[in-house]
Structure 1
Amino acid sequence: MDNGNNRAPWRGQLTLRGAIIGTIGCVIITASSAYTALRLGALPWPIVFAAVISLFFLRLLGNASLNEANVTHTIMSAGAMVAGGLAFTLPGAWMLGLANQMGWVQMFLVALCGTVLGLVCTALIHRHFIVEDELEFPTGTAAAETLRATEAGGSTGARLFWSMGLAGAYGVLRDALGVVPTMLAQLPIPGVSFGIYNSPMMLSVGFLVGFVPLAFWFGGAAAANFGLIGAGSALGLWSVTSAQGIVSSLGMGLMMGSGIATVVKDILPQVGTFVRQARQDAPGEKDDPQSLVSGSLRTDAGIFGVATAAVAVLACLGLGLSPVASVVVVALTFVTTIMSAQSCGQTGIDPMEIFGLIVLLAVAALGEHSQVRLFFVAGMVAVACGLAGDVMNDFRAGHLLGTDPRAQWLGQALGGIVGAVVAAAVMYALVAAYGPGAFGPGKAFVAAQASVVATMISGIPSVPAFAIGLAAGIALYWAKLPAMMVGLGVYLPFYMSLTAFLGALAKLAYDAAWRRRNAAATSGTDDAERERLFAEHEQNGLVVASGVLGGESIVGVIIAFASVIMGLAA
């Protein structure tokens, strides 16, 4: 395997054949992702699926390495989240009767601006989250384990693919055949979506993330749903509807506060170091294989600066935003991209449309009253955050496999731009074919997230709750507590938090069972041997959980392909 130690490591990892395979796959996955996000209101990560397909086709051509497959699947999966960013925001404008103000050109510019901002931001934060903090990024970890197991074969490969197969079969029974329900143990609690999400993938996320982070996540969910909504409405403090607005505003504030604190505490000091290094052009930093901005700091700063300025100009001239609004969007996209990366790293979840809403509301507060332009803002931010989630997951997989991050970033740029073209084209084709009336709750294309954006376009439901959440998010992060996890628990539907927490409890039970079973066998061994045996146990659990996560993701993409084909045939 090429670990990036040769003279120009990325050249052997970003290959012509890999670029061709990745681009073809990107077109297919992007198209199906746009359709799925609009039709089903959900979008599974396609990274594991892309990893398997990439290695398969590269092996057919011979002499494939894991690094080449890693870069190829980076290209292949990039457009999916670009499509998600558009599908989760822009159809809200169609629901409000603004379809005639939004053509393919505007949708493409939204996707292109978001893609460029996402690429610039992830290049700057790559080292912090991947190398220094070493966040889990469960989907990226699953992709790396999938590639390793595919290459290694044996018991590890068998364990991975058996778990993938079982999870995939379960996904078919649930989503394609309707044999098993999507929700279990539902209870009619006013204002609270109580139940267990019948998703092996969601359980595996909790298993991979672990108990302590999930305890904060679940604590936020319990306090918001049973405290603010349940107890608050029962005591007559507010209605259930008002309580739901308070909770959503509080959750957005917590996530926003966490993002701001991350920028101030962790990112801005690195910017100062970056500037000082740029002035000195320190040769000692030039060949750092773990940095995306180390080749020539002055050149890199210039390229990123020009790209960011170009986005601001495009937002002004192409989308009609004011200069002030364009600058604010660019600045806040950097903050929300960091929030997105942190959320994906800790939970595997990327609430991209929420970050788009946050910036949309900020721009609206500055005096932008054109509804269609506010949708453009939400779309740009959602695309940037969606792409950031995909990029950082791919970086995590590459870090585990020893892939050169520059090859991955270039591959992501290729896939992101291709995805911008395809996603805009598919969106335009669907609204042209079915009409704006086909989009919305109860319609052929539910576009659930975009419906929320359309509803929220009038403003934050509870400004005081948002302000409290903002302050609390900053304080929690400064106290070294996972504010983002708490915020996700407050904002997300309770059934998602409960299911992830059950996955974390399964991890506790799995570890406890191993300790009881091996207590006698390890009693006479030294600490190093016990640590080795426990690491092997951890690896086995990681492989199975990754397979479960990947199996459901792969089936989700396959069902998306089938939906596209049946939709075209109908």
Structure 2
Amino acid sequence: MRHPPATPQLTFRAVVLAIVLAVVLSAANAYLGLFAGLTVATAIPAAVVSMGVLRLLGGGTILENNIVQTGASAGSSIAAGVIFTIPALIILGYWRDFQYSWVLAIAGLGGLLGVLFSVPLRRSMIVEEPLPFPEGKAAAEVLKAGENPGPGLKILAFSAAIGAVLKVAAHSGMRLIPDTAAGAGFFGKYLGYMGTNLSPALLGVGYIVGLNIGIVVLSGSILSWHIAIPLYHMFFMGTDPGLAQSIAGAGPEDVAGAIWSAKIRYLGVGAMLIGGVWTLFSLRKSLLSGVKSGIAAARAGSGGAEVAETERDLPMKWMLVALVVFVLPLLLLYQAIVGLWHVSIPMAIIMIVAGFLFVSVSAYLAGLVGSSNNPVSGITIATILFASVVLLLLLGESGRMAVGAGGAPLGAVAAIMIGAVVCCAAAVGGDNLQDLKAGYLVGATPWKQQLMLGIGAFSCALIMAPVLNVLSEAYGIGAPTAEHPNPLSAPQATLMASVAKGLFGGELPWGIIGIGAAIGALIIAIDEALKAKASSFRVPVLAAAIGIYLPLELMVPIFLGGLLAYLVEKRHGMVGTKDETARDRLHRPGTLFAAGLITGEALMGIAVGIAIYASKDRDVLVLPEMFQQGEIVGLVVLAVVGWLLYRTGAKSKALGDVEPGPM
């Protein structure tokens, strides 16, 4: 579908609506990422909301709605880039709270660099050698079916209300129902553990990512919790007297958690490292092709050749100017940390080179598996490790031992800063290509989308620090403390802090990391064998690594959500179909229901956080103990939510036909 240039796109109302949605969705994804270690793409719910709002304002064009979803989708990207890295500075003790100017500089400039770096990749990955970009295609289908957005809005509103109500009823709010249902025990020498989180949002995440990814992440967790932890407990506790002493007299659930935290999760680190290296190697030809294509397109435009409206990117010469302008403040930021120009300048160069490489990797992976499955955390770990090695060489022994506020190694802080910028850039870059795919399919103007994504990314950066401070004050971030016994775990940020600190004066279990790398290599070999057989089931190494690294109870509902998506396909006889457009249309109602669960729970989590933050009392909403229910009730509630999700997803193949369920 192609539209004439006169069709309204970058209108004032579209820009304002995009900014509002971007800010709201970035806050929601910040909570989800700190809680579960995952974020989800927000383009489809943003497109549905946009169609409904603009319809109330007199109607909007398909290209206006596309601009809104483009800007709004920056919310998930910036949130991912920030929460995967910047909380590490709190965990290291370098910051006591999230400093506004620093968070704004890192997130804003990193996000804008992501837009710049992704511009030359559009032609290669979308036009010349098009990748699937599943969420971009799905968003385009939603936009094309936008004549009747009412049913979609009803689904979103209904499921968001469910997510919000259950969040305020959970342990962090009224404590009507618990957050998890878990059990553990010793069976002879075997330490057994099983549990599930009761969050509807995780069920929604699983529905969106699908059964393939659900199986992979759950298998990774089973490897950690049902094999590695019991083996370590049976055979290696005697070689670790410090850990053995710390868990003496503890219950089996606490013992399993302690072994996972101190040792076994580093298997995931090793798998992520080998996965990041393999991803870079396997994409080397695509990276070179993208650079060549972008340069050729820039020369064609500057040579006076006629370029169609639907092929106009932001001018390459302005991209280079903006790159210099954005790098200078980052150079000053690094100088403020280490105080040595001979270190700050190489750091800035590393950021530029790594930023472009990893934006390319992120864009390619988003094109293959979607933004929700894009393993940005693995990319960031590789960046932090590379930056740390360079910093170790530049700083020397004295610099290696230098510490800053809170006793945090300055080298580790600097590496985290580099990783944060690259992480924001990679997240935004991958999302940008997803949006440009949708725009390409509906006939949008690329440079207008690129400009809108930059506006959306910077708008989200403006509110990240306040949101993080509210969540930190209300829930705590990282390890449990007396004040916050059930904090937001921030798994990726905790990992980044551990890796960076371990390279600067700390200790890392390199043996376990090496075993994890070997496991990652084996997973890669299995995945390549499946690829050679053209199997529909794949084993992406970074998804498996995330499962190995994260707690088991988070992976169980994600798997169950993926199973529900499979059952919806089975009901309609579409299991194994290669028609991605038909699959996207089939899952659209269920995807919107899942997105509503995620958004409602996340936004209510922030609202509960604000109440706790304002009252300085983490029990401000807690009801008397007589009203509090046990794990059985929580499991029943989760089962009911799962049934509603399945029922909504299974009722129709098209959004225009679906009923919103029992309301």
TM-score range with shorter-chain normalisation? 0.7 to 0.9
Q: Which amino acid aligns with 2:597?
A: E
What is the match of residue 118 of structure 1? 114
CA deviations 1:360-415 (Å, max 9, x no partner) are: 22211112542432332232123223333543453455455544443222111111
Q: Are the aligned partners of 2:380 and 2:420 in contact in 1 as well (CA < 8 Å)?
A: yes
CA distance in 1, matches of 2:115, 2:166: 36
Q: Would you say the 8 A contact 1:251–1:469 is kept in 2?
A: yes
User: In the alignment, is the contact (CA less than 8 A) between 2:133 and 2:434 conserved in 1?
Assistant: no
Q: How far has the Cα of 1:454 moved from its partner?
A: 2.9
Partner residue of 1:13?
9
Asked if residue 363 in structure 1 is aligned to residue 387 in structure 2, the reply is: yes
Say whether the 8 Å CA contact 2:120–2:293 is kept in structure 1.
Answer: no
Q: TM-score of the superposition, structure 1-length normalised?
A: 0.76
Distance 1:101 1:512, change over 3 A: closer
- Give the Cα–Cα distance (whole angstroms) in 1 for the partners of residues 333 and 53 of structure 2: 39
The correspondence of residues 9-48 of structure 1 with structure 2, limited to 5 A, is 12-27=8-23, 29-30=25-26, 46-48=42-44
The aligned counterpart of 1:544 is 589
Q: Does 1:375 align with 2:371?
A: no
For residue 500 of structure 2, what is the aligned residue in structure 1? 457
Shift of the 28–437 alpha-carbon distance from structure 1 to 2, 3 Å rule, reads closer
Q: Residues 129 and 173 of structure 1: is their aligned pair in 2 closer, same or farther, counting only changes over 3 Å?
A: farther
Secondary structure of 2:283's match?
A: helix
In structure 1, distance between residues paired with 2:158 and 2:98: 43
Q: In proportion to residue count, which structure has more helix?
A: 1
Match of 1:171 in 2: 163
C-alpha distance in 2, partners of 1:204/1:267? 33
- In the alignment, is residue 134 of structure 1 matched against residue 126 of structure 2? no
Find out whether 1:66 has 2:62 as its counterpart: yes
Deviation at 1:559, TM superposition (A): 1.4
Query: How many Å apart are 1:200 and its aligned residue?
Result: 5.2
> What is the match of residue 333 of structure 2?
318
Equivalent residue letter for 1:272: K
Report which stretch shifted further, 62-71 or 121-130: 121-130
1:68-120 CA-to-partner distances (Å, cap 9, x unmatched) read 12212332342454245334433332344423898543332212331122112
2:458 to 417, 441, 448: 417
Q: Which residue of 1 aligns with 2:480?
A: 441
Residue 320 of structure 2 corresponds to residue 305 of structure 1: yes
Aligned residue identity for 1:307: A
CA–CA separation in structure 1 for the residues paired with 2:360 and 2:584: 29
**2:359 aligned with 1:337:** yes
Structure 1 residues 46 and 558 mapped into 2: Cα distance closer, same or farther (>3 Å)?
A: farther
Give the conservation status (yes or no) of the 8 Å contact 1:116–1:308. Answer: no
- Give 1:125 shift: 3.6
Q: Secondary structure at the match of 2:3?
A: coil
Matching residue of 1:247: 267
- AA paired with 2:354? L
CA contact 2:263–2:509 (8 Å) conserved in 1: no
Question: 1:170-319 alignment to 2 at 5 Å?
Answer: 170-178=162-170, 181-184=178-181, 194-199=194-199, 202-203=202-203, 206-207=206-207, 209-211=209-211, 216-223=216-223, 225-231=225-231, 234=234, 236=236, 240-241=259-260, 243-275=263-295, 287=307, 293=313, 299-300=315-316, 302-319=317-334
Of stretches 326-335 and 410-419 in structure 1, the one that deviates more from structure 2 is 326-335
Between 435-444 and 180-189, the greater mean CA deviation after superposition? 435-444
Q: Superposed, which structure 2 residues align to 1:396-545 within 5 Å?
A: 397-399=438-440, 401-424=442-465, 441-442=480-481, 443=483, 446=488, 448-449=490-491, 450-459=493-502, 461-462=509-510, 464-465=514-515, 468=518, 480=531, 482-515=540-573, 538=583, 541-545=586-590
Q: Take 1:84 and 1:515, find their aligned partners in 2: how far apart are those partners?
A: 35
Most deviating of 359-368 and 213-222: 213-222
Structure 1: gaps spanning 5 or more residues: 517-530
Which sits farther off after the overlay, 209-218 or 265-274? 209-218
* Shift, 1:359, TM fit: 1.6
Any conservation in 2 of the 1:359–1:381 contact (CA below 8 Å)? yes
Q: Distance in 2 between matches of 1:312 and 1:200?
A: 41
Query: Relative to 1, partners in 2 of residues 1:319 and 1:273: Cα closer, same or farther, differing over 3 Å?
Result: same
Structure 1 residues 563 and 358: CA distance shift in structure 2, 3 A:
farther
- Between the aligned partners of 1:188 and 1:130, the Cα distance in structure 2 is 52
What is the number of equivalent residue pairs in this alignment? 539
More displaced stretch, 61-70 vs 484-493:
484-493
SS of the equivalent of 2:147 reads helix
CA distance in 2, matches of 1:194, 1:395: 42
Inter-partner Cα distance in structure 2 for 1:325 and 1:558:
36
Equivalent residue letter for 2:389: A
